[in-house]
A and B are shown apart, each in its own frame.
Chain A
Amino acid sequence: MAKGATKTPILELRDVHAEAGGTEILAGLSLRVGAGEVHAVMGPNGSGKSTLANVLAGRPSVHVTEGEVLFDGQDLTALSPEERAREGIFLAFQYPVEIPGVANMVFLKTAANALRKHRGEPELDAMDFLALLRDKAKLVDMDDKLMQRAVNEGFSGGEKKRNEILQMAILEPRLAVLDETDSGLDIDALRSVADGVNSLRNADRSMLVITHYQRLLDHIEPDHVHVLAGGRIVRSGGKELALELEERGYGWIENTTAQEARPG
């Protein structure tokens, strides 16, 4: 059995091909993520990192053409984006979207209650929600004022990413996909976002940390590291793989893969 598959996987991708805009981007990607594990997926630009995130979240413009995507053993591609969210898949967006006129707090409460309703739990009223929000906002060091402002409108890059992690803290997903959460962050913001993520690690929550750079992994220590190139996982290993990659660059992987792919 391959490394990283020692537990029952919560997420399993088997030879997944996916296209967007008529171009095949994922070309036979396989991956297993066990419960409570943190996996990093690294890769150069254009390797298919964001497409992988979108395949998991169900973005309508990305289509799985071959292979299987299983979440907790069920076929994820049969579910709409909101059904996936309600089943516990959370995507921290690389570019969080602005929604003018909708207060951040209202948005968070609406989302939280949509999930609670799905789980058969009573919806939170304004007071209970406010208490929850205050509690979780501490994890990412988020200013109260941002709760009253429209969703992501006029937020700085750091505030947007903190807001994503805050949503994750409130929605308590079983699988969190962090799509280049480190991009556009200065070192202080990176640290507080990473602290927030680390505080949310637990035995029932798996994470897929997608990143171009190793620096995020200094703060969020992964159990497994995968290298994505040409729409496939070309190498998997422990956290030391990320360091090696940092040292030798993506060219190293692309060259070795090309050699491995040679017949003979």
Chain B
Amino acid sequence: MSDPQNSEIRGLLDREYAYGFVTDVDEDRIPAGLDEDVVRLISRKKDEPQWLLDWRLKAFNRFLQMLDEETEPTWAKVDYPAIDYQAISYYSAPKPKAELESLGEVDPELLRTYEKLGIPISEQKRLSGVAVDAVFDSVSVATTYKEELEKQGIIFCSFSEAVQRCPEIIQKYLGSVVPYSDNFFATLNSAVFSDGSFAYIPKGVRCPMELSTYFRINAAGTGQFERTLLIADEGSYVSYLEGCTAPMRDENQLHAAVVELVALDDAEIKYSTVQNWYPGDKDGVGGIYNFVTKRGACRGRRSKISWTQVETGSAITWKYPSCILQGDDSVGAFYSVAMTNHRQQADTGTKMLHIGKNTRSTIVSKGISAGHGEQSYRGLVRIGRGAENARNHSQCDSLLLGDRAGAHTFPYLETLNPSAIVEHEATTSKIGEDQLFYCMQRGLSEEDAVSLIVNGFCKEVLRELPMEFAVEAQNLLGLSLEGSVG
């Protein structure tokens, strides 16, 4: 008890990463390196149509240009040694076991893995009320509740399967929100993406269960480049969740994903993420580089897209889930909790691009920084010329634990329409000794006291999460309290 600020940090942060195990499976793996043949090989493995290969190749050529021009983004407040893109294997899939009876059968080793992760995918044990697409390294290994969802016309499957089943939808929407030339990491992804999830919610359908994807990196020396595409047709609703974990390794592994969302007239998409990639050890060795492009287009009138993220993992996070508010009266929201400790670095935030009339956006960002963690909120609110009566409210709060952590806020604001109302609030605070002592005097342990205070700090964001994830998020944040969210 000599130094509560430090001992509480130790208690909270020295907790073992619970998902750091490795699954022993044979891999079908493309050797490290990146050239046109690798792109063609990935496309061939997926039995893709020519137009998709062409799209990949355009992206690949653009990526080569970007490498030449050294346009890897450096503006973020994160620091890492140069990545050798030739040292990464761009495809690794668990080999199907010969003894499996049917094609639909999943390797028991993989079933055990997901069970261990708390996401059972076998018929008998699958979670109720949540359909799960399980992505293991470069491929989707199982999707639950597919048939049940199909009865309502909902398509929920791996991206690769969607390319075969409904190529016309993919061709129409792929790259329509995040073009292949969008940015360095999105362009790399467009060339080499291997799998991901796809969902289409037909007109007027309210998706009866949570859709979710669980991303697992297992193989060493690989990157994960998945692509998710969700289309909510007119008047439909879907809530989608994603979770991510990876083994503990000394190497840094690259995860460069792209997520595209499209909401048509009166459609609503709630997209939630609980990101718990391996963060590296306390000295900053190992961990995932999470360089992700996520963007949603509110194309239709009165459409809504909300991003909710709880970011506790990854060595480095570079991620700005954004909304293009194109349809009149469309609504965008971004709710974020990011936690960095030890040597973790996060540069995260959002972009709200107001194009349509009467568009509204809300940004709530909560950053918790401990140890030597470095964290930045970076957000752009842009009110276009035609965005009459656009509204934005941004609130960015940072909570520091200890005196070696950093918190920074970089709000960018561009207003081209004088009728806009844009508000930005920001605060930085520390967990006070007084708060801790007050809680402990009432019988709470130091760890529970920190959890309670952090939980309170994040409350506005945590209450946006679906119930299933709220619990996981609380645990991740070291919050063991029951019933305190909501």
| B439 lies within 8 A of A99 (CB) | yes
C-alpha gap A86/B439 in the complex (Å): 12
Supposing A106-B484, A110-B481, A171-B442 touch, asked if A150 and B434 sit within 8 A by C-beta, the answer is: no
B contact patch SS: helix
A250 within 8 A of B: no
| A101 lies within 8 A of B459 (CB) | yes
| B484 lies within 8 A of A167 (CB) | no
CB neighbors of B among A136-165 (8 A):
150
C-alpha gap A91/B483 in the complex (Å): 26
C-alpha gap A107/B483 in the complex (Å): 11
Give every chain A residue within 8 A of B440 (Cβ-Cβ): 80-82, 85
C-alpha gap A85/B441 in the complex (Å): 5
Residue of A at shortest CB range from B1? A60
Give every chain B residue within 8 A of A80 (Cβ-Cβ): 1, 440, 446
CB neighbors of B among A65-83 (8 A):
80-82
Cross-chain contact of A126 among B448, B457, B483 (Cβ < 8 A): B483
Give every chain A residue within 8 A of B2 (Cβ-Cβ): 60
Supposing A100-B457, A102-B452, A102-B453 touch, asked if A85 and B443 sit within 8 A by C-beta, the answer is: yes
B444 within 8 A of A: yes
Give every chain A residue within 8 A of B460 (Cβ-Cβ): 101
B410 within 8 A of A: no
B445 within 8 A of A: yes
CB neighbors of A among B221-262 (8 A):
none
Give every chain B residue within 8 A of A167 (Cβ-Cβ): 442
B458 within 8 A of A: yes
CB neighbors of A among B402-457 (8 A):
432-435, 437-446, 448, 452-453, 455-457
| A85 lies within 8 A of B456 (CB) | no
> What total count of A-B pairs have CB within 8 Å?
91
| B456 lies within 8 A of A100 (CB) | yes
Supposing A60-B437, A61-B433, A126-B483 touch, asked if A101 and B442 sit within 8 A by C-beta, the answer is: no
A118 within 8 A of B: yes
C-alpha gap A84/B453 in the complex (Å): 21
| B456 lies within 8 A of A150 (CB) | yes
Give every chain B residue within 8 A of A36 (Cβ-Cβ): none
C-alpha gap A102/B474 in the complex (Å): 14
Give every chain B residue within 8 A of A57 (Cβ-Cβ): 437, 441
Smallest Cβ distance from A47 to chain B, in angstroms?
22
B4 within 8 A of A: yes
| Chain A interface category by residue count | 20 to 34
A97 within 8 A of B: yes
Smallest Cβ distance from B129 to chain A, in angstroms?
22
| A85 lies within 8 A of B442 (CB) | yes
C-alpha gap A150/B453 in the complex (Å): 11
Give every chain B residue within 8 A of A81 (Cβ-Cβ): 1, 437, 440-441
C-alpha gap A99/B437 in the complex (Å): 12
B: number of interface residues (CB 8 Å): 29
Give the interface centre of A57, A82, A114, A118 by most chain B CB atoms within 10 Å.
A82
Cross-chain contact of B484 among A61, A91, A110, A171 (Cβ < 8 A): A110
| B442 lies within 8 A of A102 (CB) | no
Supposing A60-B433, A102-B453 touch, asked if A97 and B442 sit within 8 A by C-beta, the answer is: no
A234 within 8 A of B: no
| A110 lies within 8 A of B433 (CB) | no
C-alpha gap A101/B459 in the complex (Å): 6
C-alpha gap A40/B291 in the complex (Å): 63
| B444 lies within 8 A of A111 (CB) | yes
CB 8 Å contact bits of A38-65 with B (1 = contact, 0 = none): 0000000000000000000111110000
Residue of A at shortest CB range from B432? A97
Supposing A61-B433, A81-B437, A126-B483 touch, asked if A114 and B448 sit within 8 A by C-beta, the answer is: yes
Residue of A at shortest CB range from B462? A101
Q: Which 10 A-B pairs have the closest CB atoms?
A: A101-B456, A102-B456, A111-B442, A114-B443, A101-B459, A97-B438, A85-B443, A81-B440, A82-B440, A106-B484
23 A–B contacts, CB within 8 A, in A order: A57-B437, A60-B1, A80-B446, A81-B437, A82-B440, A82-B444, A86-B443, A97-B437, A99-B438, A99-B456, A101-B455, A101-B459, A101-B460, A102-B453, A102-B456, A102-B459, A106-B481, A106-B483, A110-B481, A111-B442, A114-B445, A115-B443, A150-B456
